[in-house]
């Protein structure tokens, strides 16, 4: 099985090519593939295969899985990596494309590098849903922002000092129902900082996650705390989030090529 490794900031993606042969996710050793010592090393494994509905304008389906086996409904980084893979491999001949995901069809624009470096890719993630959460703590009132996955976010000034575990304690976190908890710092009207942590069977900090960045921007725009075009800083790198006139959130980030191999 052929794979290509990409990185979007510090989010590593192992992309599996299923365009010519079927790949059954349940049979994949996801934890082993993501292991940085024994495997290839990544946060996410993405599978690219032919789209279920070619008449939709999409020729490819993108599915993304974490090391613990959970499928993400919407992983912007996997979609952007898949867009570069499809463009470089000739599966899509235009720099403008649409891909199918479990969260519906997503439009992308690929800007190849003339010097052989990182590509710049923009993906339209669609609209966000907002829901206030009840907390057992009087000091913590997270909001749930849904962009495919659910992100439980709070605005704060010092995210490192915030008791992330108390927010997670209010959620129904199980190995099959992980939770993304984040703290957002509005640094200026044009720039945010996001610290994101995943709770579940394989907890840990997400140093870079473009979907989470879009959710953070959505929250701050919803609260009128930032501009509609904003830089979201994360420990693993930055991306740009823009909210258009249709209230769709577009994420732009660099997509770097790592290497190609055979499993």
Examine the pLDDT at 206 and tell me if it is beyond 90: no
Lowest model confidence (mean pLDDT) among 58-62, 85-89, 141-145, 248-252: 141-145
**pLDDT score, position 246:** 97
pLDDT at 163 > cutoff 80:
no
Question: Is pLDDT of 196 > 60?
Answer: yes
The burial class, CB within 10 Å (0-12 / 13-18 / 19+), for 105 is: middle
Q: Which of 7-11, 196-200, 256-260 has the lowest mean pLDDT?
A: 196-200
Average pLDDT over residues 19-23: 89
161 pLDDT higher than 90: no
Tokens 């199918």 locate to 100
The mean of the pLDDT values for the chain is 89
**Residue 44 banded pLDDT, cuts 50, 70, 90:** very high
d(CA 112, CA 99): 18
pTM of the predicted model as reported, rounded to 2 decimal places = 0.92
Cα angle 7, 13, 14 (rounded to 5 degrees) comes to 130
Tell me how far apart the alpha carbons of residues 70 and 169 are, in angstroms, rounded to a whole number.
20
Please give the pLDDT value at position 133. Answer: 67
pLDDT tier for residue 52 given thresholds of 50, 70 and 90: confident
Assess whether pLDDT exceeds 90 at residue 42. yes
> Residue 177 gets which letter from DSSP?
B
**In the prediction, which pLDDT does 139 show?**
57
Per-residue pLDDT band at 171 (split at 50, 70, 90): low
Please, what are the domains in the chain? Answer: 2-125+253-262 (3.10.310.10), 129-247 (3.10.310.10)
| Sign of CA pseudo-dihedral 207, 213, 217, 218 | negative
CA distance 165 to 162: 9
Dihedral (CA of 148, 153, 129, 8) sign? negative
Instruction: Check whether 254 has a pLDDT greater than 80.
Output: yes
Could you tell me what percent of the chain has a pLDDT over 90?
67
49-54 average pLDDT score: 83
The tens digit of pLDDT for each residue in 71-122 reads 999 999 999 999 999 999 998 889 999 999 999 999 999 999 877 789 999 9
Average pLDDT over every residue of 219-226: 95
Q: Residue 164 above 70 pLDDT?
A: no
Q: Which helix (H) or strand (E) holds 182?
A: strand 179-188
**What local confidence, expressed as pLDDT, does residue 134 receive?**
63
């Amino acid at each position: 099985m052929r794979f290509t490794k990409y990185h979007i900031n510090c989010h590593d993606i192992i992309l599996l090519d299923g365009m010519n042969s079927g790949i059954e996710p349940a049979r994949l050793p996801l934890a082993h593939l993501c292991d940085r010592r024994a495997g290839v090393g990544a946060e996410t494994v993405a599978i690219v295969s032919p789209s279920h509905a070619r008449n939709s304008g999409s020729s490819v389906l993108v599915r993304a899985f974490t090391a613990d086996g959970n499928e993400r409904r919407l992983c912007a980084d996997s979609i952007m990596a898949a867009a570069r893979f499809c463009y470089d491999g000739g599966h899509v001949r235009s720099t403008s494309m649409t891909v199918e995901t479990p969260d519906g069809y997503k439009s992308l624009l690929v800007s190849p590098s003339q010097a052989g470096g990182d590509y710049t890719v923009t993906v339209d993630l669609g609209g966000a849903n907002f829901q206030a959460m009840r907390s057992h703590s009087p000091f913590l009132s997270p909001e749930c922002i849904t962009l495919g996955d659910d992100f439980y976010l709070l605005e704060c000034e010092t995210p490192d000092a915030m008791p992330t575990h108390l927010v997670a304690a209010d959620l129904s976190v199980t190995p099959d129902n992980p939770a993304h908890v984040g703290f957002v710092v509005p640094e200026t009207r044009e720039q945010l900082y996001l610290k994101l942590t995943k709770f579940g069977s394989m907890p840990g900090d997400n140093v870079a996650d473009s979907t989470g960045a879009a959710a953070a921007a959505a929250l701050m725009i919803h609260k009128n705390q930032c501009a509609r075009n904003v830089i979201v800083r994360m420990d693993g790198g930055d991306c740009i989030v823009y909210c258009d006139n249709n209230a769709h959130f577009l994420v732009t980030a660099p997509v770097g090529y790592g290497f190609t191999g055979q499993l």
